[in-house]
Amino acid sequence: MSAPVIQLEDFRKTYTSGEVEVHAVQGVTLAIQPGEFVAIMGASGSGKSTMMNTLGCLDRPSSGRFLFDGVNVGELNRDELADLRNRKIGFVFQGFNLLSRTTALENVELPMLYCRPGIRGSVQRDLAEKALALVGLADRAEHTPSQLSGGQQQRVAIARALVNQPKLLLADEPTGNLDSRTSIEIMGIFQQLNAQGITVVMVTHELDISRYCRRVVVMRDGLVRSDEPVKDRLLATEELATLDAEQKAVQLA
Amino acid sequence: MFAVFKIAMRALRRNILRSFLTMLGIIVGISAVIVGVSMGTGAKAEVDKRIASMGQNLLTVMSGNMSRGGVRGGFGMQPNLTLADYEAIRKEISGITAVSPEVRTQGQVAAGNQNTSVQVLGVSAEYLAARSWNLSSGDNFSETDVRNANKVCLIGATTAKTLFGENVDPVSQVIRIKGAPFTIVGSLEAKGSGSFGQDQDDIILMPYTSAMKRLSGDTRLRSFFVQAATPQDIADVQAQLTDLLRQRHQITEGKDDDFMVRTQQETSDFFNANNRIMTILIGFFAGISLVVGGIGIMNIMLVSVTERTREIGIRLAVGARGRDVLLQFLTEAVLLSVLGGVLGIATGYWLAPLLTKFAEFPTLISNTSVALAFTVSAIIGIVFGFFPALKAARLDPIDALRYE
């Protein structure tokens, strides 16, 4: 087995809010191998957002070790963290977080603006177009987010996350703002990308969404309560077919 | 870099009214700088022109820098220059083309039933040539006239008009100056107003000997007028004059001169000192306006950073370093101030001629002031844009992403 993408060893995170110390995560040891598709679940306050920020290299552990692709993140400075996010991590957020009044294509080009060494404009455009095609939005490249549906916006966000060919795709409640059918479509895209070998980690609190993943980590009060593979894994393609059949039946009835 | 510029340009276009209002402070400040400096340069050019109209390469020797009992008199107060000094200058100073005493006296002049009070200037025969002053009719008085203190004179255009009316040739007419009859031998061309703004044509010139003997009764002189041969000779002539007069006046080593030798350059510097004060004053107010404009930019940039916290969060999340964000907001601020600067320069170009036209104030826009204004506006953008940009760059990505 190759080296894990993510390796947490007794990871702890403590915030001070006012004079109160909040122990958001209190000792998590976890390894995620390349090619995995992991859902991190838990109620609010369980520490899953903190996990997410740390796995995304937006934040550093208070104590314990966090190795990302073999690199000790705790020892990196702000700029090195930024470079790591740029090259190795793709983010997908619940609120999409696209730049408004900026076309889909330019949103996808955004991470490439910060590549070092820089990428030529024409190459950026090519890569962004390819990424958009991958999520099925080649014909919406010049649309701004306000001209796109929620599902389409989330696809643009996924294309943006993919464009630098990251080691890890990190999704924070990616279906939180979407209806159930669109949610399944988005999960379908994740499954498809995972099948191509991309490591996906997502945070969700929806049980049925987690069943599209391969492994579910449940957190409560800053600790991992269970960590097991998904039985009866759902496939988005099949679910969509079932949904279509049901709709047809309703219409016939 | 081009991408950064493009992003900044788009951000400014998004809020075009706000961008323009922000620029307004800089526009006002920069146009004030342009107009103010153009007034200074214009006034200086005017003074230089007038000084030059007095003649080329001139020096003035003035008497009376003398302190008596600790009280220092002003120059020209104590007439301690002598005719012997004048003769010595004529003989011993090299590199000069003309030298003349200047005997000034004011007198009532009458011709027929007309009379007027006029400045009478006693000079040598070389005076006219040194001041490149031509005669419209008649001839200059001669060396013989000077030697014999003959009652002859030259008449200025304004004085001639007052006494004889227009289009009358005054040559060979006799006028009475302080009661004494003088024959007009030449009529001077009009010269216009001088460096003090006075009418240079309301004047009567005559041999200095005549002026001293027949009008003022003076035996001593207050000033000499010396013309150096070339501009390069001026400094040397100044030194020679100083040495000669110190020697003649028996001023020992370490004592102050009892006279002053002033070059034309020094005279123009003297007048330009006033202009400089005016320029500094306008520059000061323009500077205040620029600072206010800069604060406006800082204010709007701070608002912009707050409004776009989420955007900054996204950029940081996808891998922008702090300095990328810093550069982005700094570029925006500099673009604002430089655009304001360019518009301000354009406004200045438009305002300065209007000022000349309606207020009749001479203006001259120099390339230096335009370059200066441009540089200053860029610096304002950097200085006042830096703090908001730094604030943006230091945002925590997690907080910025959560910002509503």
B30-50 pLDDT tens trace: 998 888 888 888 888 888 777
pLDDT higher than 90, residue B390: yes
> What percentage of chain B has pLDDT greater than the value 90?
31
CA distance A152 to chain B (A): 18
CA distance B15 to chain A (A): 12
Tell me the per-residue pLDDT of B126-168, one tens digit each, with 9 for 90 and over.
Answer: 888 888 888 888 899 998 999 998 999 999 988 988 888 888 8
- Report the pLDDT averaged over residues B210-214: 88
- Banded model confidence at residue B218, pLDDT cuts 50, 70, 90: confident
Those residues with Cβ within 8 angstroms of residue B103's Cβ, 6 or more apart along the chain or in another chain = B121, B122, B123, B208, B211, B212, B216, B218, B221, B222
Per-residue pLDDT tens digits of chain A, which is 253 residues long? 568 999 999 999 998 878 888 888 999 999 999 999 999 998 888 888 888 889 999 988 899 999 999 999 989 999 999 999 999 999 998 888 899 889 999 999 999 999 988 888 899 999 999 999 989 999 999 999 999 999 999 999 999 999 999 989 999 989 988 898 999 999 999 999 999 999 999 999 888 899 999 999 999 999 999 999 998 898 998 889 998 888 888 888 7
Token digits for B18? 């706000």
Interchain pair A82, B311: CB under 8 A: no
Q: Which pLDDT score is estimated for B316?
A: 94
CA distance A36 to chain B (A): 22
Chain A hits for B314, CB-CB cut-off 8 Å, are: 97-99, 110
Interchain pair A121, B316: CB under 8 A: no
User: pLDDT: is B66 or B218 the higher one?
Assistant: B218
**Substitution target from A13, A58, A167 for chain B, most B beta carbons within 10 A:** A58
Radius of gyration of chain B measured on its C-alpha atoms: 33
> Domains in chain A, please, with CATH?
6-252 (3.40.50.300)
Q: Which pLDDT score is estimated for B69?
A: 52
pLDDT higher than 60, residue B73: no
pLDDT higher than 80, residue B74: no
B402 touches chain A (CB under 8 A): no
Q: Which pLDDT score is estimated for A215?
A: 95
B399 touches chain A (CB under 8 A): no
Q: Which pLDDT score is estimated for B347?
A: 94
Tell me the per-residue pLDDT of A121-157, one tens digit each, with 9 for 90 and over.
Answer: 899 999 999 999 989 999 999 999 999 999 999 999 9
The dihedral sign for the CA sequence B384, B385, B389, B390:
negative
pLDDT higher than 70, residue B1: no
Cα–Cα distance between B46 and B361 in angstroms, integer? 10
Those residues with Cβ within 8 angstroms of residue A167's Cβ, 6 or more apart along the chain or in another chain = A5, A34, A69, A88, A89, A199
CA distance B325 to chain A (A): 10
Looking at chain A, which residue has its C-alpha nearest residue B3? A113
Chain A hits for B323, CB-CB cut-off 8 Å, are: 79
Token digits for B55? 């003649």
pTM score: 0.74
User: Cα B145 vs. chain centroid, distance in angstroms?
Assistant: 39
From A131-135, B13-17, B356-360, B374-378, the region with the lowest mean pLDDT: B356-360
- Banded model confidence at residue B197, pLDDT cuts 50, 70, 90: low
Q: Among A97, A98, A114, whose Cβ lies nearest the Cβ of B319?
A: A114
Interchain pair A58, B317: CB under 8 A: yes
Those residues with Cβ within 8 angstroms of residue B163's Cβ, 6 or more apart along the chain or in another chain = B109, B110, B111, B112, B114, B115, B116, B155, B170, B175
- Banded model confidence at residue B345, pLDDT cuts 50, 70, 90: very high
The DSSP symbol for B211 reads I
The dihedral sign for the CA sequence A213, A214, A218, A222:
negative
Cα–Cα distance between A33 and A168 in angstroms, integer? 10
Interchain pair B319, A85: CB under 8 A: yes
pLDDT higher than 90, residue B356: no
In this structure, chain B runs to a length of 404
- Report the pLDDT averaged over residues B165-175: 87
Q: Which pLDDT score is estimated for B193?
A: 65
- Report the pLDDT averaged over residues B111-135: 87
Q: Which pLDDT score is estimated for B268?
A: 75
Q: Which pLDDT score is estimated for A44?
A: 84
Q: Among B14, B311, B317, whose Cβ lies nearest the Cβ of A91?
A: B317
Which of these, A147, A211, A203, lies nearest to A176 by C-alpha position? A203
Chain B hits for A79, CB-CB cut-off 8 Å, are: 321-323
A53 touches chain B (CB under 8 A): yes
